Amino acid sequence: MDVSEIIGTWDYRTLPASVKLASGCFIERKASFLRYRSLQPIGLSLGERVRVYTWTEFNIEPSGVVVVGEDSVLVGAVFMCAQSIVVGSRVVISYHEIGRASCRERVSSPV
């Protein structure tokens, strides 16, 4: 095991081309993307300074899109998405499962 893949120092350029990261993003685990399958032009968009910590998972289906607003923090969030999920700016999601198989989900509670 490469320790860099679990402490956030791995090469983010190895992410799929449809993952868009704004400046200042931090993603602790490369394995957060093991079930990422979006075929959309932008399947995941992380806003500026988004922090993605251990146990967060992006289980995004080929038709799915997830957008996370700036300054949000994800700790153990499991995103299961076949359509779209939009998380607002300055949101903290911790140890929860967020998603729906066939509907649009909005999370926008500021910190």
- The pTM assigned to this predicted structure is 0.83
Q: Kindly state the greatest CA–CA separation across the chain.
A: 37
The predicted pLDDT at position 54 comes to: 87
Indicate whether 67 belongs to any domain: yes
Burial tier of 5 (Cβ tally within 10 Å: 0-12, 13-18, 19+) = middle
pLDDT tens-digit series, residues 16-74? 999 999 999 999 999 999 999 999 999 999 999 999 998 999 999 999 999 999 999 99
92 assigned to some structural domain:
yes
* Domain extent for 15: 3-100
Between residues 5 and 63, which one has the greater pLDDT? 63
For residue 83, tell me if it sits in a domain. Answer: yes
Domain count, the chain: 1
- For residue 110, being part of any structural domain is answered with no
Residue 81 lies in a domain: yes
In a domain, 76, yes or no: yes
Residue 56 domain-assigned?
Answer: yes
